[in-house]
Every structure is written in C-alpha cells, then in structure tokens.
Amino acid sequence: MNANEKKFLIIIFFVSLIIRIGFILTLDNSVDVWGDWWDELGWKIASGKGYWVENPYFPDRDKFYAWRSPGFPIFLALIYKFFGHNYLAAKIGLAILSSSTCILLYFLARILINKKTAFLVSLIYSIYPASIFWTGYLAPETFITFLLVLSVFLLTEYYFDNKKILHFIFGNLFFGFLCITKPTFLALCPFLILTFSLIHKKNLFKILVVSFICLSFFPLLWGIRNYKIFNRFFITSSEGGIVFFIANNEQSLSSPTGFYHAENVEEFKGLSEIEIDKLLYKKTFEFIKNNPNLFFKLIINRFIKFWRLYPHTISGPGESYKIFHQILSFISETPIIIVGFLGILLSLKEFYKWILLYLTIFIYSGLVILIRTTIRYRFPIMGFLIIFALYFLKMTKYGKKYL
C-alpha cells in the first residue's frame, strides 16, 4: 500500500468508529435490551461459572449446556474478562469490529475490482445504517459479519493474489469459528471444499487436507466438549430444533412474525436437552412431509421477509422499529439490493472470480429461507451486495471513466 492508501484507511476506520460510538452513546447502555442468552453466557464464561442456561421449558429441571452456539459468547467473555460486566465496553468492541469490516471490504473489493471502487465500497459501508445500528445491541450480527468478511477476504486473497498458505489456513479457521457462531454456515463447508478442489487441481490433496482440518477444528472442539456432557457428538446448538419447529407449523403462516410457538411442552418431560431437539426436528420434518403446499407458502413468505426493504414495526431490539427506521432502511437497502443483483448478473461472465461471494449469498440465504428468517439475518451478506452494486456501476459508461 502507498501512503495515501494507508491514510485513507486510517481515516475510514476512525470516522466509522466515531460514528458507531456516537450512536451507541445515544442508547441506554446500563441494560441489555436484547436479553437472548448471549450476554448471560458470555458473563458466565468470563466469571468462571461454566457454559449453561436454565432449562427454558422446565426451569426446575436439568440445565441446558448447548442451547446456544459458543462463538459470540466467547467474544463477549473476552471483553468482560478485561472490563467486567460492562455493556458499553461490549458495544464498543462491536463498533471496532464493524469499523474493521469497512477495511476488510476495501481489501476484498480491491482484489475483485480495483482501488477506486474499493474506496467507495469502504466509504459506503462506513455510513451504511444497518452496520451502525447493530453495534448498539448485544446481538451476534456484527460479529458474524466480521468473521464472514474476514474469512472470505483471506480465501480470496489466497486464490487471486499472493498464494500464501497462511491466508488459506486462517481463512478456513475463521470460517470454522463462524460455524460455531452461526451453525447455518456449516452447510457451506462442503461447497467450499468442492470449490477449493475445482480451483486447485494441481495441489488437490494438500488443499483438501488443510481445508478439512482447519474448517473442522473449532466445530470439532465444540463437538468433543458436548460429547463429554451428552455422550453424543453434537456440533450445532440444541436450540436448532425449536427454531425450525416454530417457523414451520400450521400456525406459522398466520403469524405476522413468521413463527408460532406451537410446541407441546408436556411432550418434553423426561427427555434430555438433545432428545428434545431431536424430537422437534422430527416433528418439523413430519409437518413438511404431510403439508408440502403449506411449507411452500411458508418459503415464499420467508423469501419476502428476507429480502423486504424495511423491517416490520412489530419487531425490533427492546422495542418495535419506528417509522424513522423503516424510511431509513428503505432509502439505504433498496439501491444496494437492486443494483447489487444487477452486479451479480453482470459478474457471471467471470464466474470463478466471484464464486465465494456467490456461495455465501445464495446458499446462506437459501438455507435461512428454508428454515426461519427475519430481516436481520440478511445483514451479514449486505457488504458483499455493496461490492456487487459498485461493480455494476463501474461497468456502466460513466463508471468505466470514473471508477
């Protein structure tokens, strides 16, 4: 990098950080309005109390030891270890990650397009409202996005730039950690390995071995830990079954939230945490098998929810989204999504160059839509759509001149 490039990135990082911290300071940082176990688990790790939550179905029964995937609580625990149980410190940590994501997107776009376009990608993400908003809440979205962009950048750099094996190793390791942060990404691992084998035919054996070991490292550690507790190898979270079930039952479609708690808790008596999870998966697949038309309607409904341009006022962290949030979302999301998909269509002529971004966007979104979705689940892939949107603009008559 030259001096001007370094100067720009330093400015972008600190401007992004100031904007995010400024937003965070407008919130009440003495409480955790999210209240979704993440903070509880992070503090338990930091304070040496173990990794467990009270039984969500029968509070007086056995504790649940794998209710949430551990990636995000580990991040929170590291902050709490140094700063105590401090929500403001945790949010500033998220602001630092989000500002770092701006820089990572610059490097990714520089490899895939060029420096000028990469500058704009980084600048747009620094003021992208959703990236600012999610730093203010103890939800995993900012952390997931950072891990995803970091791993895709390292793998892309290995493919197209300097071929340093360390980038390939750490790209796979970070993606593996992403898998124990949001288990949905586990389903992408076979596709990643297939992609590696197609691109690196000359070093196929070495690439496959390194990729498999690094991708599986963190899920394997999580699975071994769970095996010691449950006597069963388990690499996801025991919440997966209930998440799948409440989004796929006869009442789900009629609920404005897209999910409905139709479970019969009495059926869970005498069952272990893992057995309850297994039962809920079984009941959900039975529902899908017996109601294919309704399941198809649910998929269509979730597709619309995933790609809608503004959030429902019935949802939101702590309180419902306001009209202001909807207007700001519509103004910022609409051009990114529409122009981003035009960029995807235009990029197909260089398919292998963009293949990691294709995999992430389409397989991840497809899986989420099949299982359960809310608009915030889209957030981790929006940085990639910004890159595609700028790529499309670059390929226009005026873009070729100025970008």
Give the mean pLDDT per block of 10 residues along the chain (403 residues): 89 97 96 91 96 93 95 98 97 98 97 95 97 96 98 91 84 97 95 86 84 96 96 93 94 88 91 95 96 96 94 86 94 97 96 93 96 93 98 87 75
CA distances to 60, 152, 355 from 361, in Å: 42, 12, 10
**Cβ atoms of 268 and 277 closer than 8 Å:** no
- The predicted pLDDT at position 366 comes to 96
- Residues whose CB falls within 8 Å of the CB of residue 129, separated by 6 or more in sequence, listed in order: 328, 329, 332
- The predicted pLDDT at position 60 comes to 87
- The predicted pLDDT at position 110 comes to 95
Neighbours of 320 (CB within 10 A): 12
The three-state secondary structure class of 64 is: strand
Q: Which two tokens stand for residue 172?
A: 């796979």
Burial status of residue 201 (CB atoms within 10 A of its CB: 0-12, 13-18, 19 or more): exposed
* Closest among 230, 263, 227, 228 to 245, alpha carbons compared: 263
Q: Which two tokens stand for residue 150?
A: 């970091």
Sequence letter at residue 83: F
Q: Does the reported pTM lie above 0.85?
A: yes
Q: Which two tokens stand for residue 247?
A: 């989004």
Strand partners, 53: 64
- The predicted pLDDT at position 162 comes to 64
* Closest among 89, 87, 90, 98 to 16, alpha carbons compared: 98
The three-state secondary structure class of 238 is: coil
- Residues whose CB falls within 8 Å of the CB of residue 81, separated by 6 or more in sequence, listed in order: 46
The torsion angles phi and psi of 206, rounded to 5 degrees, stand at: -60, -45
**Cβ atoms of 51 and 45 closer than 8 Å:** yes
Farthest CA pair distance, the chain: 69
